[in-house]
Amino acid sequence: MHDTPRSWSRRQARLDVGLKILTDTAPSSATRAPPLWRRIADRPATTLAVLCLFAALDSVDQGGLSLVIERIRRDLALTRVEVSFLLGFANMAVSSCILIPAGILVDRFSRKRLLFGTGCIWATMSMLTGLARGFWPLFGARAGGAVADGVLKPASQSILRDLFPPERRGLPFSLYWGFYSLGSGVSFYVSGRLIRAADAGVFAHWPIIGTFRPWQIVLALPGLSTLPLTALVLLIAEPKRDRSTADPTATASLRETVAFLRRTWWLYWPSLAYSIVWSIPNAGFLWTPAVLHESWGISEAEIGRMIGLLGMSLSLAGTLGGGLLVDVVTRRTGPDAALHVTIVASALMALIQTLILHVSSHQMVFTLIGAIYTLQGTINASYYVAVAAITPARFMGRVFALQFLCLALPGAFAPTLIAETARFVAPDDALAQAVSLNVGLGSAAYMLLLLLFSARIWRFRQKGGGVEGVTVASGA
């Protein structure tokens, strides 16, 4: 029996309904909910947490070195100038060379893959630092680890800028730099405990580690902690870049980047000069453990314990409060108010850095060190929020790389500048006097540059510069 056209239409209609029911009820790969771990990894808070841990481990390495630097000098028979090369030049010089290429890579390629690759290098070099038994192997391992530091900072700042809107950037930026300060505190505390344990012979019968000197154990530790974090970075979601069509620099080439910096040089140069001068007081802090041990007779283990406890307890407290303050003033008065927070906090920091080695008691010294940790994260977070507000999205990696270059390149020589200054002052407490002189002059200079930068931003807005740097005015 042959189907009539009408029965064929009814049969086709029933078939269409059945197919629709199947397709509506069958789970689709496009609409299926991602697994729990993927939903957690995609959250901005997860990305922020991973970047904060990277920042903490980055500063762990530097803090541990500054605490054991006198032991290294004695064991390897180094001069104070050679020691200053390890504190500054070995790390900062290579970091300076890598920052501009790193900024270009950050603007063009996957930032989390860049973090993964440099994290592997960092872990390897950090462990080699602990195994070094001479000046040049130690210098080479420090220089190799600086490659990771040169990529970490611009990549992290670029990710945070794309991850959070302007009115919510204060707390994430503050947390990032707060964990950087926290890592320094953790480093001092853990290093002090390790030194005490090593001096007591705790590691004497351990395989392999038993042959290490105490300072080698301290320097090898960060490398062991970095490897699992390096693998974790591949799981986080990288935020989409801000490529608004309203931004004329969205597809900027290297040539256009140079042209952009030439047009806005009048705006950026005070901030770049501020980064250069800031490296001098920062170098003074690197010498502080050596000064406390040499001039005040405080043991390295006690220095590590006290500075570590202060860093761990006050750095996050200061940065959380500072980040919340930046968000509040930004919502009320605009993104440029973040720089006003920087100016106030920097004025307090300048006063503390100038007075710290002139007080008369150990307790007061450590109290002022705690205040430095409290202010440090607020200054970093508010300052970089202010820079982000005037910088177009496509230039973020390069502009921040230039900022860190201006901080790192003088930082390579600032510890040596202090060591050389100590040769021309009175022999009694020469290092303490050299630190005090350089920090005092540097603090006065960076305050003047911050005020000038604030005035330039005001002029930039008067000329029509928009929020987020979308409209860029040229200077007169």
**85-99, 326-340, 368-382: range with lowest mean pLDDT:** 85-99
Rounded to whole angstroms, the Cα distance separating 450 from 442 reads: 12
- Decide if pLDDT at 15 tops 90: no
305 or 460, higher pLDDT: 460
- Domain range 36-413+427-469, CATH class: mainly alpha
Reported as a single tens digit per residue, the pLDDT across 31-76 is 566 676 667 767 878 888 888 888 887 777 666 777 788 888 888 8
> pLDDT exceeding 90 applies to what percent of the chain?
3
End-to-end CA distance of the chain: 93
Instruction: Name the pLDDT band for 251 (thresholds 50, 70, 90).
Output: very low
Better-scored residue on pLDDT, 286 or 364: 364
DSSP 252: -
Mean pLDDT of the chain: 76
Indicate left, alpha or beta for 33 from its phi (over 0: left) and psi (-120 to 50: alpha): beta
At 453 the pLDDT is 92
Higher per-residue pLDDT: 15 or 133: 133
* Whole-number Å distance between alpha carbons of 155 and 112: 8
Q: Is the confidence at residue 341, as pLDDT, over 80?
A: yes
Report the pLDDT averaged over residues 285-310. Answer: 78
- Sequence letter at residue 333: T
pLDDT recorded at residue 138: 86
pLDDT band (50, 70, 90) for residue 452: very high
Domain spans, the chain: 36-413+427-469
Q: Given this model, what pLDDT does residue 471 score?
A: 46
Q: Could you give the CA distance from residue 273 to residue 222 in angstroms, rounded to a whole number?
A: 32
Q: Residue 10 has what pLDDT?
A: 58
Q: What is the dihedral of CA 329, 331, 334, 336, to 10 degrees?
A: 50
The pLDDT, as a whole number, for residue 421 is 82
pLDDT digits (tens, 9 = 90+) for 226-244: 777 777 787 777 777 765 4
Based on DSSP, count helices (H) and strands (E) in the chain, helices before strands. Answer: 16, 0
Q: Is residue 464's pLDDT more than 60?
A: yes
| Tokens encoding 9 | 């239409």
The residue ranking higher by pLDDT, 210 or 265, is 265
Is the Cα dihedral 25, 28, 31, 35 positive or negative?
A: positive
pTM over 0.85: no
Q: Please report which confidence band the pLDDT of residue 451 belongs to, taking 50, 70 and 90 as the band edges.
A: very high
Amino acid identity, residue 352? I
CB 209, CB 105: distance < 8 Å: no
DSSP code, position 87: I
- Give the model's pLDDT for residue 448: 93
